[in-house]
């Protein structure tokens, strides 16, 4: 995920910024850059790849100045390249900008600015901000930033410097974090406090809508043109805690990030005004969909579970027959795919060897391919005909959490897009589902508040050696995913089953030593799940049920209840998986397991 560092004071800003960017390396990035002002001239250095490339560039072509901004870029709009690396400048080269987030309406702003004579040098959404500020600049950079931001929609953490006003950095925040650290006659900014801990510990976390003028000895914050005060906090975290934003593990941090990463993933692809889904990045036309024979979804592990969930979406919403296959199986199967098939590959890393090999096979067969990846520029994202990125930022915990809900978010958008193009969904249903999509981050936030209750339940069960997870229909893949999370990080043997399949064998496993986790939220199979719970209870199993508030029946039968907010059944997998992630996390930590790096597992499986 992108990182921002800025400085104003009397030190060499390039050095301070470089050191700060190094502290953000753990977030992942593909290029980096620094701009400083010296003698009213902006000097910029940018390099593709690791920070050491920027370092060599700076060693060869040193820059210095007491004010500057820097950035590590995780590509979203435009490939990783020097032109697309930040900082970005306006036409005059006097205004430079670094940005985290996504400018949703950058295409229309860019068109307008080009028609007014602005010349663009990159493919990024960020560059429009530099030109927009230039448009409004009349010797007052703060005013120009304020005017520009009135036109911008989306998420941003921004830092701006101007050659003609070398005594200030302007920063702004909306839905992307930004923090100011106060020094003595110097101030620092960063997207993440870990970049600044070596320099200062008194910090101000900006709030949405804040625009701030930072000089070396003053900080003035405005919100909706009114000057506001923000509290200063002392940060006592050590560097490692800071990387994890104070959470004990990356996995826990990533579970908590999900309300934001889901929103970041649909941002810019879902318009609030007309309920329109815009997937500009792909070329899958109405004509192709009308002739489509079948969708195949190929993936491994957690990504495979996202694919299994999507089968229900494509079949129910868009009436397209859908098959889901594990990549390592697909490779050696006699599959029937052709130019009328759409083959979707899901991969967080974009480097999984089996998924990549399957992609190459599908391409050889002449099928249309689409990848859903989290890592920009990864092999799968480069080789597929079409790519849709999840905007989750780097996932560091080996057990996948936020990438999974990001994948589901993209798949919801895709299924709704196909259903709209094929006219298989009514306007009322589409409006309803789009509205629910918008509300998902709020519902996820509600769900995250259950962590304390789940921790208590985990305490009761953490010494068990086996577990069964049950669910039906669209939540069946979530039973598989819940069981996978538990086994991979706690080393407890856990299996997910389709609840209706129990009586065909697995029920033999059930006695009073077997805990059973059941997903039992409101759905068309609610009554059926209730019967499956009765079957398990009759054999002595302890039942933990994930239910909705005001549940009348299952709450009485279950020994332990985890309450999640009610959503349309289509979105229930995305909500229901969150308590299962927490449960696995707490059980594993109580057993003393290394949750971020479980034994025998790798984050990116690049061998067959
Ligand atoms: C489970 C997990 C793995 C991955 C699988 C595929 O928590 O992380 O099962 O989902 O190895 O990886 P990607 O999605 O990178 O292809």
Tell which one of 298, 303, 358 to mutate to probe ligand 1, the residue whose CB is within 8 A of the most ligand atoms: 303
Where do we find the tokens 């649909």?
Answer: 266
Beta bridge partners of 373: 347, 389
pLDDT at 26 over 90: no
CATH pick for 449-590 out of 3.40.190.170, 3.40.640.10, 1.10.10.350, 3.40.50.10490? 3.40.50.10490
- How far is residue 155 CA from its own chain's centroid? 13
Which has more confidence, 278 or 409?
409
pLDDT tens, position by position, 459-490 = 999 999 999 999 999 999 999 999 999 999 99
How is the chain split into domains, by residue range? Answer: 3-243, 253-446, 449-590
Q: Report which protein residue has its CA nearest ligand 1's atom 9.
A: 301
Confidence class for position 101, pLDDT limits 50, 70, 90: confident
Q: Phi and psi dihedrals of 484, rounded to 5?
A: -60, -45
Q: 403 is written with which tokens?
A: 């990438």
CATH architecture type of domain 3-243: 4-Layer Sandwich (3.60)
Residue 270 to residue 274: CA distance in whole angstroms: 9
**Ligand 1 site, residue 302, Cβ cutoff 6 A:** yes
Q: What is the pLDDT of residues 178-227, one digit of tens each?
A: 999 999 999 999 998 888 888 998 999 898 999 999 999 999 999 998 99
Q: Does the active-site annotation cover 2? A: yes
Distance of CA 67 to the CA centre of its chain: 32
Structure tokens at 517: 């986790």
The pTM for the full model equals: 0.80
Q: Which CATH architecture has domain 253-446?
A: 3-Layer(aba) Sandwich (3.40)
Closest C-alpha to ligand 1, atom 16 = 347
What is the 401 CA–ligand 1 centroid distance (Å)?
Answer: 10
Closest ligand 1 atom to residue 355 Cα is: 16
CA–centroid distance, residue 200 to ligand 1 (Å): 38
Q: What is the pLDDT of residue 175?
A: 81
Report which protein residue has its CA nearest ligand 1's atom 3.
301
Q: Is the CB of 572 under 6 A from ligand 1?
A: no
Whether pLDDT at 274 is above 70: no
Query: d(Cα 343, Cα 349) in Å, to the nearest integer?
Result: 18
**Tens-digit pLDDT profile for residues 282-306:** 999 999 999 999 999 999 999 999 9
**What spacing in Å lies between the alpha carbon of 587 and ligand 1's midpoint?**
20
pLDDT value of position 246: 84
List helix spans (H) across 423-513.
427-448, 451-461, 476-490
* pLDDT tens figures, 397-442: 999 999 999 999 999 999 999 999 999 999 999 999 999 999 999 9
Fold: same for 253-446 and 449-590: yes
Whether 37 and 17 have beta carbons less than 8 Å apart is answered as no
- Examine the pLDDT at 607 and tell me if it is beyond 90: no
* pLDDT of res. 377: 72
Q: Give distance in angstroms: CA of 354 to centre of ligand 1.
A: 11
Cβ atoms of residues 220 and 232 within 8 Å: no
Residue 229: what are its φ and ψ, rounded to 5°? -110, 140
pLDDT band at 1 (very low <50, low <70, confident <90, very high): low
Phi and psi angles of residue 563, each rounded to the nearest 5 degrees, phi first: -95, 130
pLDDT at 77 over 80: no
Check if 245 is active-site: no
pLDDT, averaged across the chain: 93
Each residue of 30-73: pLDDT tens digit? Answer: 899 999 999 999 999 999 988 999 999 999 999 999 999 999 99
Sign of CA dihedral 575, 483, 474, 295: positive
Closest to 220 measured CA to CA, from 210, 235, 208: 210
Residue 244 has pLDDT above 90, yes or no: no
Cis geometry, peptide bond prior to residue 534 (ω within 30 degrees of 0): no
Which residue of the set 143, 182, 537, 603 is catalytic? 603
Q: Whose CA is nearest to atom 7 of ligand 1?
A: 399
- Ligand 1: does its nearest atom lie under 6 Å from the Cβ of 355? yes
Q: Is the pLDDT of residue 606 over 90?
A: no
Sequence-separated (6 or more) residues with CB below 8 Å from residue 287: none
Is residue 277 pLDDT above 70, yes or no? yes
pLDDT at residue 604 greater than cutoff 80: no
- Taking the centre of ligand 1 as the mean of its atom positions, its distance from the CA of residue 20, in whole angstroms, is 31
* Residue among 348, 357, 392 whose CB has most ligand 1 atoms within 8 A, to mutate: 348
The stretch 377-403 carries a mean pLDDT of: 91
Q: Is the CB of 407 under 6 A from ligand 1?
A: no
235 confidence band (pLDDT: 50, 70, 90): confident
Q: Which atom of ligand 1 is nearest to the CA of 403?
A: 14
Q: Distance, CA 398 to ligand 1 centroid (Å)?
A: 8
Does the pLDDT value for residue 552 go beyond 90?
A: no
H helix intervals, 223-374 = 239-243, 250-256, 258-266, 286-291, 301-318, 327-330, 353-364
- For a substitution probing ligand 1, which of 28, 255, 302, 358 has the most ligand atoms within 8 Å of its CB? 302
């Amino acid at each position: 995920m992108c990182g921002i560092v800025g400085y104003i004071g009397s030190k060499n800003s390039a050095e301070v910024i470089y050191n700060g960017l190094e502290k953000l390396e753990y977030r992942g990035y593909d290029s980096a850059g620094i701009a400083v002002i010296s003698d009213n001239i902006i000097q910029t250095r940018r390099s593709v790849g690791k920070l050491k490339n920027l370092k060599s560039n700076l060693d060869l072509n040193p820059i210095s100045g007491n004010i500057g901004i820097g950035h590590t870029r995780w590509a979203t709009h435009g490939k990783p390249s020097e032109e697309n690396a930040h900082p970005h400048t306006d036409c005059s080269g006097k205004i430079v900008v670094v940005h985290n987030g996504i400018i949703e309406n950058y295409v229309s702003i860019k068109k307008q600015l080009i028609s007014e004579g602005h010349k663009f040098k990159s493919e990024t959404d960020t560059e429009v901000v530099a030109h927009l500020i230039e448009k409004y600049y009349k010797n007052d950079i703060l005013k120009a930033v304020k005017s520009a931001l009135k036109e911008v929609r989306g998420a941003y953490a921004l830092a701006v410097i101007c050659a003609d006003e070398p005594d200030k950095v302007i920063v702004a925040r909306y839905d992307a974090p930004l923090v100011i650290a106060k020094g003595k006659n110097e101030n620092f900014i960063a997207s993440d406090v870990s970049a600044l801990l070596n320099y200062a510990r008194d910090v101000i976390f900006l709030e949405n809508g804040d625009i701030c003028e930072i000089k070396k000895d003053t900080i003035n914050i405005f919100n909706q043109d009114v000057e506001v005060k923000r509290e200063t906090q002392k940060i006592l975290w050590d560097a490692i805690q800071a990387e994890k934003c104070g959470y004990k593990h990356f996995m826990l941090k990533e579970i908590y990030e999900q309300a934001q990463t889901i929103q970041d993933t649909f941002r810019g692809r879902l318009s609030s005004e007309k309920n329109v889904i815009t997937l500009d990045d792909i070329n899958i036309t109405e004509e192709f969909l009308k002739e489509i024979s079948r969708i195949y979804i190929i993936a491994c592990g957690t990504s495979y579970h996202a694919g299994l969930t999507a089968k229900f979406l494509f079949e129910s919403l868009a009436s397209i027959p859908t098959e889901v296959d594990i990549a390592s199986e697909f490779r050696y199967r006699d599959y029937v795919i052709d130019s009328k098939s759409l083959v979707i590959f899901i991969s967080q890393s974009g480097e999984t060897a089996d998924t990549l090999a399957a992609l190459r096979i599908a391409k050889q067969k002449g099928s249309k391919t689409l990848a859903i990846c989290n890592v920009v520029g990864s092999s799968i994202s480069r080789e597929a005909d079409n790519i849709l990125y999840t905007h989750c930022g780097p996932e560091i915990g080996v057990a996948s959490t936020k990438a999974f809900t990001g994948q589901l978010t993209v798949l919801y958008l895709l299924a709704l897009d196909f259903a709209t193009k094929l006219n298989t969904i009514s306007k009322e249903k589409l409006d309803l589902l789009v509205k629910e999509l918008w509300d998902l981050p709020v519902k996820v936030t509600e769900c995250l508040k259950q962590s304390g209750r789940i921790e208590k339940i985990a305490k009761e069960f953490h010494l068990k050696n086996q577990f069964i997870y049950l669910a039906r229909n669209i939540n069946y893949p979530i039973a598989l995913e819940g069981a996978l999370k538990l086994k991979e990080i706690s080393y407890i043997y856990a299996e997910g089953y389709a609840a209706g399949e129990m009586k065909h064998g697995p029920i033999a496993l059930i006695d009073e030593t077997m805990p059973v986790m059941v997903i039992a939220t409101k759905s068309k199979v609610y009554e059926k799940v209730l019967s499956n719970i009765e079957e398990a209870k009759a054999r002595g199993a302890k039942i933990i049920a994930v239910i909705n508030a005001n549940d009348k029946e299952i709450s009485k039968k279950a020994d332990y209840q985890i309450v999640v907010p009610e959503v349309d059944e289509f979105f229930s997998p995305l909500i229901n998986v969150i308590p299962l992630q927490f449960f696995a996390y707490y059980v594993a930590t109580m057993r003393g397991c290394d949750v971020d790096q479980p034994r025998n597992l790798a984050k990116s499986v690049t061998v067959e």
